[in-house]
Amino acid sequence: MQPPFISLLLCLGLLAPLAADDKPIIDTSKSPKAILHGVPVSAVKLGDGFWTERRRVNEEVSLPTMFELLEQNGILDNFRRAAGTKDVPRRGPVYTDSDIYKWLEADAFVLQNHDNPKLRALGEGAIDTIVAAQQPDGYLNTLYVKENASKRHTRMADNHELYCLGHMLQAAVAWKRATGETKLLDSGLKMVAYLLANFGPDKKPLMEGHPEVEMALIECYREVGDKRYLELAHYLLESDPRIKLDKWSIVYHNTGRPFWERTILEGHAVRAMYACSGATDYYLETGDRRYMDALDRLWQDLTQRKMYITGGVGSRESGEAFGEPYELPNQLAYTESCAAIGEMFWQWRMLQATAEAKYMDVFERALYNGVNSGLSLKGNLYCYRNPLELIGDPEDRIRNPWYDTTCCPPNIQRVLASLPGYMYSTSTDALYVHLYHAGTLAWHLEDGTPLEVRQETNYPWSGAVTVRVNPAAEKRFTLNLRIPAWASGATLAVNGTAQPAPRPAAYAAIQRSWKRGDVVKLTLPIAPRLTAANPLVRDDVGKLAVEYGPLVYCMEGLDQPAPENVFAWTLDLRVPGAASPAAFQAQWEKDLLGGVVTLTHQAVHSPAELAREPLYAPFTAGPLNQPAGVVKLIPYYTFDNREPTTMQVWVPYTR
């Protein structure tokens, strides 16, 4: 039953992991408040399917080319300069050290899953380069060395020293878990020791102007058990009261007051999402209720007022920030890839704390749409912004190989590389299946019983999922299968016996004594769905979005009959049933955009060329008698992978 692609790779030995430590992406195995515990990236081998192709491109194209670009842009030379081995000017923004760290973490996740000698060698070389730049006292940041050494920690709100350290520590932990090598982690912890020696409640005050290091410190605490790392994270989350920031800075930087005082998501979206992630890590280790209360409030604000249907967050270019409630403009959507990624990190942590499926719904929404859109199909171009509408201006370069602030590309890379580690969790007496994709989990229950779980599915193109459960010995436990929020009408059968209809937005719990060869058949109703936004989202009034399983769809001009401009088209819902799945023609087009299901539907269009029509005109009967045609929709993540064209997620309708 092994898909042929995987079998081939296994024969070639390419999928053999290097991992010295079989640990999950975040290791909540000893976290007092974690109900769920992840499985290692190494434990899951994906078969043919949606993410396998995306991950192949990530590994074969994105990671190697990004490493070259990091070299070309002097990011590694910055370390050589700091080490005194190369006399070059420092290049890039203050936070650019983090870019190579994120790349390294992505590399480590690849290596956790299977060996890749070329990527391993690149990573080892980078680690040597980085560690050589560490100063004798443990300080490590390429900006504040030599003539700038005296400026360390002088501009804590903006200088990103702790942000860079956070990414270094995350890379270091992932690298250790991939290879067993601790060189980078030792170096990172030396910098932490330097901080602990100099800063803290009874020493000099310290602040993080861009939350990130909290997650990393807590993962180091999980990895090596030193409680001072957890305490330092807590100190930063609480904010040192000796540091006074103005109101704008507190909002923008998402720091400067105790995390748990927050009531709304505001300010810089990436900072906000990373702060929430770190705060959830803190809750997982301590159970501090004030933190979870704040996180609950913020999650409501996120999902009920401030999240695009693509999972994108951060509406405003100005300050890369959250907007007002329901301020979700489509064309102007800022929706930085990193913000949606931070949102995923947060959801994953909330899920470990609660085992509630709603967090995975948001995770999956961001993953398939607002994050997935960030990498081009060929793997060489990245989105910083992921807008929901494009006017087709060739000057709008939404996808680029490099950004001066190139935070998003390696962030997307680490998500794709680590993806197998987000598919399953265990709890005391259960296995949880969060995501559906062909492949095999080889892991064990928490009592140590070895367990293989094999998924056969073409999700998200099809909703049919076969889950083969093979414990090493017959064993009573609960298999929890996630039923997405949109999956009303899902059906479930165990060894051919129908189960009670599973509830959407929940885990369908199948408690029984499992034995090798048991087969679960889950059918998720993947069909076109029409979705409306709350009328408070002013930009979406009179429009609807089309979804298909976890995928949000969009219209691109290139796929339409004349007129090509998508803004000329109005979905025609006047025929009874036009809003039902049956009104759409779903078709697998293997040669389009790497292979996608397209959706077509009846529509009407403006009789005249819109650009020649007046800006304002007397209101008339409108689309009632307009010429008709059939429009085609494609998955949002594939937008702008061809030539410049108009694009819209929210499509006007008439009925």
Contacting positions for a second copy (CB under 8 A):
303-305, 307, 309, 317-318, 324-327, 329-332, 389, 391, 393, 529-539, 541-545, 565, 567-568, 570, 579, 606, 610-611, 613-620, 622, 648, 652, 655
Annotation says 320 is catalytic: yes
Instruction: Pick the closer one to a second copy by CB: 104 or 552.
Output: 552
d(CA 127, CA 176): 12
335-337-338-341 Cα dihedral, nearest 10 degrees? 100
> In this structure, what token pair is assigned to residue 167?
């990414």
User: Which amino acid is it at 169?
Assistant: L
In the complex, minimum distance from the CB of residue 325 to a second copy, in angstroms, rounded to a whole number: 7
Burial of 110 (0-12, 13-18, 19+ CB in 10 A): buried
Q: How many CA atoms lie within 13 A of 409 on its CB side?
A: 30
Strand ranges in 430-496 using DSSP code E only, listed in sequence order? 430-433, 439-444, 450-457, 464-471, 475-483, 491-494
> In this structure, what token pair is assigned to residue 358?
């709603």
d(CA 350, CA 31): 13
Q: How far is CA 130 from CA 148, 173, 408, 413, in A?
A: 18, 15, 21, 20
Annotation says 554 is catalytic: no
Residue pair 255/195 in contact by the 8 Å Cβ criterion? no
Instruction: Pick the closer one to a second copy by CB: 224 or 582.
Output: 582
Q: How many CA atoms lie within 13 A of 90 on its CB side?
A: 19
In the complex, minimum distance from the CB of residue 326 to a second copy, in angstroms, rounded to a whole number: 7
Instruction: Pick the closer one to a second copy by CB: 214 or 540.
Output: 540
Q: How many CA atoms lie within 13 A of 190 on its CB side?
A: 17
Instruction: Pick the closer one to a second copy by CB: 441 or 546.
Output: 546
d(CA 302, CA 313): 8
In the complex, minimum distance from the CB of residue 305 to a second copy, in angstroms, rounded to a whole number: 6
Instruction: Pick the closer one to a second copy by CB: 19 or 390.
Output: 390
> In this structure, what token pair is assigned to residue 378?
């060929």
Residue pair 13/117 in contact by the 8 Å Cβ criterion? no
| Contact partners, residue 172, CB within 8 Å, separation at least 6 | 182, 184, 185, 187, 188
Instruction: Pick the closer one to a second copy by CB: 241 or 622.
Output: 622
Residue pair 537/650 in contact by the 8 Å Cβ criterion? no
Catalytic member of 407, 547, 554, 556: 407
Instruction: Pick the closer one to a second copy by CB: 137 or 317.
Output: 317
Q: How far is CA 353 from CA 274, 349, 427, in A?
A: 17, 6, 11
In the complex, minimum distance from the CB of residue 544 to a second copy, in angstroms, rounded to a whole number: 5
Instruction: Pick the closer one to a second copy by CB: 442 or 505.
Output: 505
Instruction: Pick the closer one to a second copy by CB: 111 or 388.
Output: 388
Catalytic member of 59, 320, 364, 547: 320
Q: What is the DSSP letter of 581?
A: G
In the complex, minimum distance from the CB of residue 542 to a second copy, in angstroms, rounded to a whole number: 2
In the complex, minimum distance from the CB of residue 492 to a second copy, in angstroms, rounded to a whole number: 22
d(CA 343, CA 341): 5
d(CA 175, CA 218): 16
Burial of 547 (0-12, 13-18, 19+ CB in 10 A): buried
In the complex, minimum distance from the CB of residue 615 to a second copy, in angstroms, rounded to a whole number: 5
Q: Known catalytic residues? A: 320, 407
